[in-house]
Amino acid sequence: MVFVIQMTIRTFNEIKRKLSAGEAVVMTAQEIKECTEKEAAEVDVVTTGTRGVMSGTYGVFSIPIKSLKFSKAKSLFLNGICAHPGPCPNENLNLIEAVVFGTASAGNYGAGMLFRDMLENKPIHVEAVAKDGTQISEDVFFEDMPYAKLMSTRNAFRNYSAMTNPHDHPITTIFHALEFSPNYKELTFSGCGSINPVQNDPSLRTIGIGTKVLVNGAEGFVTGTGTRSTQQSPNLTAVADMKEMNPDYMGGFMTSEGPECIVSWAVPIPVLDETLLKNVRIQNEQIQLPLSDVSIRKPMTYIDYGKLWNGTSLSVKADSDKCKHCEVCKAVKSCPMSAISDMLEINRYRCFNCGLCSTICPDVFHADLGKVQVCIDGTTREIPVACRQSDRARALKISRELKSKLLDRTFLLTEPVEKLQP
Ligand code: SF4
Ligand code: SF4
């Protein structure tokens, strides 16, 4: 006999009342996939998460200058990274307002690293030239900046793509920490699969303008969909106060094309009816992603997140006793987060769980990153994952953090003030 579990339809307000009375059932997106149908039917809110390389990010800062009187800034560099002064002139206020793009860089140092250094309250070296020619050079600390917000042009795509290089020569790209090896030798991918926020509400029924979310651990608000958002692959934009962010969720990821910016999101999905219940129960193997030619980003075939996340290692284990003491340690040199010490210890606070070290030196660094079997142009190939540009371990962490905050009422669920068109 087949039992059909029916859930009670709920409104946003009913769920909010249950949360404030301490009666709501909250599960992470991972937990709701693993529980029984009966348990799932009782869930009021699901907390989703994603952490990845998100180029469409920028910071807006108000930077106090103490040392010199100046009129208004004409050019500005923060730790060598070019920032954009303005748009407000702040004439004669000894204050520079600036926008810093998440993809801006100075050599191997990128804005994602700068944002994290700010949060870690490291001195930020400011070099500016004022309209009147005054040269400014001084260190500023993040705690002295009266305004710092992180914003986005596009973040949190409903999952993303996998890449491989079908050509006969290596390719430098933002989709790999190293040059992409030729001839289908390896694969990289982005997207946290079944725990991804938009994947759990693909029609954006509960996520809209004004939805409160966590961005890098700080409360933020969804402001809309972003550039290149489509019905099939929506993404989101948000604004959040950098002062409240946790540097553990941020940082810069070094690719072979230069540094990229890392952002983490957690989004609550209220389970209003059976359609939403079905959505939040989605499994990795039900979510397809294109496997594309990295040079032209054209899909060659489709795979699913089950092959990439089910049963694979979320993090890497290191066994330094197996080290052969090479003249140059390729693992240390290639780590996109500079997270491996000369003693071969992984700094878990910095590590992105990309897995690259395990493909460069499998003797010392151990992880199963998975592989896919695909048929392209009539040839069946097995392509191993070499590097991940999403960190599911940290995405799970931020989804658990949001669950705790909802349960202890330090984070209040909000209903969107306006719907978004995915
Ligand atoms: S960790 Fe691996 S690559 Fe690095 S020195 Fe040891 S054996 Fe060589
Ligand atoms: S998994 Fe390895 S290569 Fe990747 S960030 Fe961590 S230590 Fe570096």
Residues 246-293: tens digit of each pLDDT: 999 999 999 999 999 999 999 999 999 999 999 999 999 999 999 999
State percent of the chain over pLDDT 90.
Answer: 92
Residue 46 has pLDDT above 60, yes or no: yes
Nearest to 114 by CA among 221, 252, 302, 233: 252
Task: Determine if ligand 2 sits within 6 Å of the CB of residue 251.
Answer: no
- What's the pLDDT score for residue 69? 82
Residue 115 lies inside a defined structural domain of this protein: yes
**How many angstroms separate the alpha carbon of residue 188 from the centre of ligand 2?**
14
Q: How far apart, in whole angstroms, are the C-alpha atoms of residue 396 and residue 47?
A: 9
Q: How far apart, in whole angstroms, are the C-alpha atoms of residue 189 and residue 336?
A: 15
User: Mean per-residue pLDDT for 343-349?
Assistant: 95
Give me the chain's average pLDDT, please.
Answer: 96
Residue 422 has pLDDT above 80, yes or no: no
User: Integer distance in angstroms from the first to the last C-alpha of the chain?
Assistant: 39
What's the total number of domains in the chain?
1
Confidence of residue 70 (pLDDT cuts 50, 70, 90): confident
Residue 122 lies inside a defined structural domain of this protein: yes
Task: Determine if ligand 2 sits within 6 Å of the CB of residue 364.
Answer: no
Task: Determine if ligand 1 sits within 6 Å of the CB of residue 298.
Answer: no
Peptide bond into 146 cis (omega under 30): no
Task: Determine if ligand 2 sits within 6 Å of the CB of residue 372.
Answer: no
Residue 3 has pLDDT above 70, yes or no: no
Confidence of residue 5 (pLDDT cuts 50, 70, 90): low
- What's the pLDDT score for residue 4? 59
Q: Which domain holds residue 89?
A: 57-151
**How many angstroms separate the alpha carbon of residue 324 from the centre of ligand 1?**
6
Residue 219 has pLDDT above 80, yes or no: yes
In degrees and rounded to multiples of 5, residue 287 shows phi and psi of -110, 115
Confidence of residue 68 (pLDDT cuts 50, 70, 90): confident
Residue 89 lies inside a defined structural domain of this protein: yes
Task: Determine if ligand 1 sits within 6 Å of the CB of residue 342.
Answer: no
**How many angstroms separate the alpha carbon of residue 368 from the centre of ligand 1?**
18
Residue 87 lies inside a defined structural domain of this protein: yes
**How many angstroms separate the alpha carbon of residue 355 from the centre of ligand 2?**
5
Task: Determine if ligand 1 sits within 6 Å of the CB of residue 356.
Answer: no
**How many angstroms separate the alpha carbon of residue 112 from the centre of ligand 2?**
17
Kindly identify the ligand whose nearest atom is closest to the C-alpha of 361: 1
Residue among 351, 366, 390 to mutate when testing ligand 2 (max atoms within 8 A of CB): 351
Confidence of residue 222 (pLDDT cuts 50, 70, 90): very high
**How many angstroms separate the alpha carbon of residue 370 from the centre of ligand 1?**
22
Residue 395 lies inside a defined structural domain of this protein: no
Q: Whose CA is nearest to atom 4 of ligand 1?
A: 329
Residue 81 lies inside a defined structural domain of this protein: yes
